A and B are shown apart, each in its own frame.
Chain A
Amino acid sequence: MRLTISAAVTSLIATQAAAGDATISIDIPRLTVAEYHRPYVAFWIESASGDRISNLAVWYDVKQKDNEGNKWLKDMRQWWRKTGRELALPADGLSSPTRAPGTHQISFDATAKPLADLPAGEYQLIVEAAREVGGRELLRIPFQWPPKDARKLEIKGENEIGAISFALKP
């Protein structure tokens, strides 16, 4: 699986859109608080019945020594309960460091795992963010897989997530 992550903090960088892919764009809000920490964010896909879970990405403090950063993974409490607590993190291709405020993109090729393994049906993209000495927010975007045509699904957050857009290409 090729995981493409944009490095720019301020601008959207359009990735080379391969045929058949899904791109998540997340806006991490710039918050004026006394003590700011970059949020932990988990991205996963759940089938409509909830019994099939596909992890897409987990952003957390991977760099802390002795995996101390793992302690707060449970604050993404729905992710932790559905799948996180069964994973051994850090995990290649899944975990990466937290991101600063701004817009970030991650793309997934439909011919590679995990999208390649998804049976046709109704799903939800779920994004959960938790911020140290801050709050927690969970957003869901329902979608059909595979997409019949190119579409961009969007949702706005209120506190810890600015907005998510989910661009699907058949």
Chain B
Amino acid sequence: MKKHLKLTLLALAASSALSVSAYAHRTWLLPSATVLAGKDNWVTVDAAVSNDLFYFEHQPLNIDGLAVMAPDGSAVTPENVAKGRYRNTFDVKLTQDGTYKMMVLNQGAFASYKLDGQQKRMRGKPETIAKDIPAGSTDVRISEIQGRIEIFVTSGKPTDAVLKTTGTGLEMVPVTHPNNLYAGEKATFRLMLDGQPAAGLDVEVVPGGIRYRDKLNDSKVTTDESGTFSVTWPTPGMYWLHANIRDKKSRIENAERRASYSTTLEVLAP
């Protein structure tokens, strides 16, 4: 009995030493509403990084790369931007009818290298990181990050101008409008990587609310050759969807490219 306990404690110690990046921290935006009626509505959005959805328990999501697009394609300045301990928050006034898209783009690079026998890490811009690595470094490994987090909010009748993709990184083309989601119904989306279908990619689908139940009820769906996947929502609520891919298609020479896409979708009751 004692021997078993010792082994278990050793195993725990070993795993926590390795677990610096082992936690699958989820990055997300959470709007106060996605379906609105009337004029001059406001939406408040929370931006956070956490384990459990959609709870604020770890750190805020950096929103330096925040962009808000109105139904007519114009840029909207968010208001009341606030930085908190566990979440950052911003407000958007919906002056137009139609669908808004709010995005946080995380585009950067990081490098790991050995210098004077020491393992080092650094962050930088994709355009300059290679130059910033000190001379004499060995075992240089550079990764370019292309992260996209998006949400969609509709005032009145849904529109689709904001659903257009840019052709860079991992993006989602909604076949089903993202503000037309109801429990029990099937919704279809398509993932694109650099403007091409992202085939064979695993998409995580996680419903929020784990704090008040035992089972996570998450699911995984794989995109087909056209990058398409479907979800039939079991219950109403907020869902987090996420996919990521690593390849060599970085604009930095000899670097790995890590592209990811996350979205929070609101599924209404039928």
A contact set with B: CB distance below 8 Å = 66-74, 77-78, 80-81, 84-86
Contacts and interface: CB of A to CB of B under 8 A. Distances in A.
What are the 5 tightest A-B residue pairs by CB atom distance, in nearest-first order?
A70-B38, A74-B37, A71-B38, A73-B37, A85-B157
B38 A77 contact: no
Given A81-B182, A85-B157, 13 more contacts: A66-B39, A67-B38, A68-B38, A70-B37, A70-B39, A71-B36, A71-B38, A73-B38, A74-B36, A77-B269, A78-B270, A81-B180, A86-B157
Interface in B212-270: 268-270
Nearest to A75: B37
A86 B268 CA distance: 18
Interface in B8-43: 35-39, 41
Nearest to A77: B268
B152 to A, nearest CB: 15
Contacts of A86: 157
A80 B41 contact: no
A37 B232 CA distance: 35
B167 interface: no
Interface of B is mostly: loop
A91 to B, nearest CB: 14
A55 to B, nearest CB: 15
Interface of B: 35-39, 41, 156-158, 180, 182, 268-270
Contacts of A81: 180, 182
Interface of A is mostly: helix
Contacts of B270: 78
Contacts, number: 33
24 contacts: A66-B39, A68-B38, A69-B38, A70-B37, A70-B38, A70-B39, A71-B36, A71-B37, A71-B38, A72-B38, A73-B37, A74-B35, A74-B37, A77-B35, A77-B269, A78-B270, A80-B35, A80-B37, A81-B182, A85-B37, A85-B156, A85-B157, A85-B158, A86-B157
Contacts of B156: 85
Nearest to B36: A74
Contacts of B39: 66-67, 70
A136 B268 CA distance: 13
A108 B189 CA distance: 42
Residue from B37, B39, B41, B156 whose CB has the most chain A CB atoms within 10 Å: B37
A81 B270 CA distance: 10
Contacts of A72: 37-38
A85 B41 CA distance: 15
B235 to A, nearest CB: 15
A24 B161 CA distance: 41
A66 B158 CA distance: 22
Contacts of A70: 37-39
Contacts of B35: 74, 77, 80
A78 B183 CA distance: 12
B41 A71 contact: yes
Nearest to A68: B38
Nearest to A66: B39
A94 to B, nearest CB: 15
A71 B94 CA distance: 13
Contacts of B41: 71
A68 B269 CA distance: 24
A101 B156 CA distance: 29
Contacts of A78: 270
B187 to A, nearest CB: 14
B180 to A, nearest CB: 7
A81 B158 CA distance: 10
B43 to A, nearest CB: 13
Residue from B38, B180, B182 whose CB has the most chain A CB atoms within 10 Å: B38
A148 B39 CA distance: 45
A111 B181 CA distance: 37
A71 B36 CA distance: 7
